[in-house]
Structure formats: C-alpha cells, structure tokens
Chains A and B, each alone.
Chain A
Amino acid sequence: MLIAEIFDRCRALVDDTDLSTVAAWKAAHPGAKAIGCFPVYVPTELVHAAGMLPVGLVGGGGHIEMDHADSLVQSFVCSISRSTLELGMTGRFRNLDGLLFPSICDVARNLSGMCSRNFPALWVDYIHLPQNRASAGVVDYYRSELARVQVGLDVLAGRTTTFDALAASIQAFNQQRAVLRDLHAFRRSFPWLLSTEELHLLTNAGSVLDVAEHTNLLQETLNLLSMRKGKPKDRIRVLLEGAFCEQPPLELMKAIEEAGCWIVEDDLLLGRRWLATDVTLNGDPLRALAESYVRQDTVSSVRHERPRRRADSLVERAREARVDGVLLCSAKFCEPALFDQVLLRNALEQAGIPHLALEFEEKMGVFETPRTQVETFVESILFA
C-alpha cells in the first residue's frame, strides 16, 4: 500500500460514525460483541480478552447534526458528552453491545448514567480508576475493580476469561503501544515527515479496528515513513496539552501546523498511550494491569497529580522535547483542563516557556481566529 492510501483508509474509518467497520467485524466473528469505550483511559485488554471488540468512542466530531442531545445536555457542558448521546439517540450504537466509562470527570460520570437509562439494550459500566496511588491498598482495590468489570463482560459474553487469554490480550496491546511509541518518536525527530493530523488519523483508526490489525497498519506505516522524502521547513516546535478527552477537529491541528508550528508532543488520544511502558506479566495478569496503571507516571488532568506535580511534568516534557512553546489547547467547557490551565500557565511563565491558550469545540467551522493567534504566537517567538 502507498502511504497516501493508508491515510485515506484511516480517514474513511474515522469518518464512519455509523460504525459499519464494527458491523463488518461482527459479521466476521459471529456471536462476538463490541463495547464502546469512553475516553480518556479504559483497560481495553479486558474487553479484548472476553472475545469482544473494544471500540474507542471519540465523540461525533463535526460530522453529525445535533437533533436530540441538546435538550438533555445543558449549554455549559463539553461537546463530546452531547455528541456521544446524540450518536446513541440516532441509532448509531446499534452495532455496540455495551459502553464502558472511566471515572475522569463529573460529566462523564453522569453521562454513563444517562446512557444506561436511554439505551436500555446496552450493558453500561463505570470504572472507578484509583486516585490515591500512594496508598498501600491501591493495587488490591484496583485489581478487584478490574475483576468486577471482567465478570460483567464475561456475563455479557457468556464465557469465562482465562488468565491466559488476558495475558495474550495484554501482549497484543503492548505491541500496539510499542509501535505507537515509535511513531511518536519518529514525529518528534522528523515532524516534517509525519504531521500531527496524520499521526492522529493513524491512532484514531484504531478506535474501530482489532488491535492486531491496527498494529500491523501502524507498523506498515512506520516502514513506509522511513522512505518518505521531505525537507524541514522553518517552523517552531510546540507541545500541545489539554486535549486528552474530546478531540480537536483535524482542521485545527492542520491550521496550527500551517501557521508555522510542528507539534512534536501532545496528549491527543492520551488513553491509547496511557500505559507508557509494557505491562509486565508475572502470573496474575489482572494484577499486572492494575500495577501498571498505578505505577505509570502518565500525567493528565483527569488523575490526581501526586507524586509528581502536573505543572513540573509539563515543563520537563517541554524541555525534553526541545520545544519553543506550549499550546494549552482544551475543549470548551472541559473543567479538568480549564482548572489546570491556571497552574500550568504559571509554571510555564516561571520556566520562561512561551505559551498560548486555545479553545476548541467539535462543531467549530472556521479556523481563522486560532490560525491568526498561532501565527502571532510564532512570530513573537521567531522575532523575540
């Protein structure tokens, strides 16, 4: 396949809000079920191990009309919550059998309740991800939470997940995460050969593909990328932070880069890379998964920041990635991101790292304002 064909395919997968890819997967796996997983992070290994397809929910983007959800979700709530409801209310979840929500914020929490009432045909569960990582009881607790969810999935699937099956699933996701790491490393070194828009498409395609197929696709792309030709342009390097849950329109990422930036580091679709290193298997895969979540130092607005302060980690990441500036780019009305902006901004200020705040919505249509803002930001850095 040509690399352009891969991106075309990814675009088609990503634009398909009817989830026909999921329908095709189910047709090929008679009796198997599919579970929609809300951002930011969900242990998809559990779903996979139960013989099901974990489907990444990423809202409706600018693709769908809002006819029903607006009456159920107040105007001061983020877009992804309303587009997720709208997808369900317009029958686009018909190829799903369940929904899994993680404890990321008050909105997601009550959204899970709304979904279970409005979509009675779906199995809906909510995972309480642990926040006190310093507690001696945290791994035991989280292991039991994972086991609880696994039982729910098993009942739905009508089978029992063995440790071996779970271990195999963990391996499969380890491989996927490893290629994603490579792709990110590649972009960091050669951002002119892999744009953020492209990387996002590649990652997001995994929302509807089986993990093995997605891993192959990523690997193939990585091989092709090394043959890609291009010249570095005179742009500044930036880190984009704050878009861990609802995703900005691709056009915004494009506009940012065209305005004179290389985005070399970001927290887009953070959940796919939440476990930054391989989950090490040691006999009890549930515990391995629990330990991995607890020990990984992934920093995000939706998890308590201790032991490492979020602001310190941002400054550190910015320095590591040798960026010229930081874009604090968050979804409109996303409280976790908005609260953090204050602390992050202060820390960047102190560290002398230039920064710019941007807000986005799924439905935004024109990108002139952010483009101009970024252009001004770039100029201020280039001519400082």
Chain B
Amino acid sequence: MSEILDEPRYVCALGGAQSVQAIYRAVPIFHSGPGCAARVSGSSSGTGYLATNTFPCTNIAETEVIFGGEGKLYDIIENSLKVIDGDLFVVLSGCTTEIVGDDLEQVVGDFKDADKPVISVNTPGFKGTNYEGHEWVVDAIINQYLTRLPKGEKIKGLVNIWGPVPSHDPYWIGDLRELENLIREIGLTPNIIFGEHRGIKNLNKVPLAEFNLLVSPWVGLNNVKLLEEKFGTPYLHYPTLPSGAHETSAFLRSVAQFAKIDLAPIEEIIALHEEEYYYHLERNVSVFFENRTASKMFSTVSTASRALSVAKFLVNDFGLMPNKQYITENVPVEHQDRIAGYFKEFRYGVEAETIFTTDGYNIQEQIEKEYYFGPPLIVGSIFEKKIAKKLNGNFLCVSSPFQQKVVLHSSYVGYHGGLKFLEDLFTGVYQTYN
C-alpha cells in the first residue's frame, strides 16, 4: 500500500544517529549514501564535538551496490578508529546497504578487540521512523555494549531517565535537564546519557541504577523492558511529560511512591513550588482571560509525548477544552489504543479524541472543518502556522519541523516549564494582534 505523504514530521530510522550524536564523544558511522547524514539531521542536531559534516560515512555508490560494501565499511571503521578521538563507535546502516544485504554484525565483529567499543545497528529507512531508530540505537547500546561491561553493585537512589528524543524534539535537552532537577529535588540521583559532557561516564552507570524512569508515552518502552531483562532493573513508566503544577506534582508523587520515599517532605516541596507557580498565574489573570483574542478550544498536532504534555497542561492547569488531538510520528499500532486512553484521563472527566495520522493535508483539512468556539489554538509544528493564520487562530510551534525560534536550553517541563509555555503562548497572541 503506497500513497503520497504530505508534510511528514519525522525522518527515517537512520535519524537514530541523532541519539548517538547526543551522547558526548560517541561517533555515528554511516554505512549509507553520501547524502543520508545530512538528510536525517537537517538543521536540528546542529554542530558540536562531531556534527553532520564530520561523521564518517562509507559513501555508498554503484560499485558497493553491485559488489557489496562490507570491504569499504571495514576500511572506514578501521580509519575512523585511527583519526577520531571518540569513546563509542556506532555503525548505522541506510536503506541501500540493507537492500544489498551487507552484514554489519560480521564486519563490526572484526573490531571486537579494538581499543574502543564498536557496535552496529540496522536502521534502514523503510523499516521505521527516527523515533523507532532512537529505540534501536539504545537497544543496540544495551545489547552490544552495556551487557559486556563488568558487573557492578547497584547504586542506591540512582535513577536513569529516558524519554525525550535527542535533537528531533527541539526542547529535548531542556526537558531532560528539568526532569533531572525534579528528580534531584526529591532526593534521588538522576542519570542521563544524553547531552553535554555526560557521555560514556553516565552510560557506564546505566546498569547500576536502582530503577529506570521512562517519561514518554511509547518511545523508549522497549529499552526499559530490555534493561529490566538484562540487568533486573525495575522501571516506572510515566507516560506524560509533566508540564505545569497539576502534572508535575502528580509526577513527583508517583516517582517518590515508586522509589519508596517518605511522602511528607515531598509534599512540602510540592507546596512550595505550587505557591510560586499560582502566584504567577494569579497576577497575570488579566493577560490570560481579559484578552478577547484568547482561544477557548485547542488542538495539538505533534508527537504523542508533546501532544499529551501540552493537552494535559492546557486542560488541567489552564482550563481550555480540547478539540481533536493529532499524533503525527507514525506511532506503531500496538501503542495506539493505550495512547488514545491517556487522552481520556483529564480532570473533570474531560476527554479528547485522538487522530493518528502522518499526513499534513489530512490534518489541516480536518482542523478547518472543526468548530472551536472562536479562534482556535493550534499547538504544533511550523506546518500548522498557515492554517492557524487562515482561521485567525493562535499558534504555538513546539515540535519538529521547528524553524520558528532558537531554543538553547529552555523547557516546557516542570513548574517553570508550564509558566514558560504560557509566556510563549501569550507572546504569540500579543504579536499577532498588536
């Protein structure tokens, strides 16, 4: 079954390379055509210790398609180990080399005695999206690297945090850091492998954690299950990326309960945060509710993770009503019913309908038909800007493709994240009408 896909909001599985890049001093090696590295990274993963233009690549062309590219891959790995000062080398395959049938595992097997670990992961574009690619990369790291580390003692209070997908989600790093702060506040020690100067040091600690914390509706679920299988580490699956007081307080209570921490001091922390949070909401009520152009109903057009986070915040904290929620990252079918269920658990019995679609034309056509009791609020990607403008609605860009503003380390997670979301939302409202 093939059809034309308008405005896709993801890249192919080879985009899992962005997760390798996000591990400091880890080196993705592309066994693919010369354009693939640039295509899957786009502008989202930026520059750094290594970047799109400096990744080793086998530059597959006709010769390798006919005669196989294993010899060339061997040369590239051998030379990468010589010239690139990295800690972990991850070979990723593209569509072409998978169709030709190159055996990555066999070639990588020749480097099992190399000074630095070399692992491989099959990420052909026809097999899935970059969100699945991210999961496969983490799975490969667990299976081929972590399980070969010498066994160590579990560290009390150490928690691995998984969830936001590096680079493709514009707020990934800020969100991860905010989750880290929240976990630290309740007395646990967070461990995240992605982002600045964490790298192999944090990666090596993954098997030693007391438990894994997954903050995402589906991405990463297979990883934490695999970690449980390999290292006996239990996991807490908290599907909603917490934004705003209601969800963040619930998140802190859930984690504390799972970690068997005394709840009394946690309640004190929560009360302090909520006091500050509601102070800001209260003193800006005039901005939020006396603004005639503010919306009453909203739709999100985003990944399951971001859509759920934003929808819970807007309904539970801010009192807007949800219209249809469009989930755009081609969620695997086995997760869809469960995710649709999350959108029926708002406060006051409010429920939202979820549409799983990857097609921009389809989404915009449906949004245009819906009734929003005034100007709609569309929270999505840059693709939704046009339809929001057409309907005289409000618009906030929160997910890829982004190109709307520069995000360095800000986040929509936590108490401060909720306030930041409102700042951005109403800045947009002001700018549209003033």
Question: Do A and B associate with each other?
Answer: no
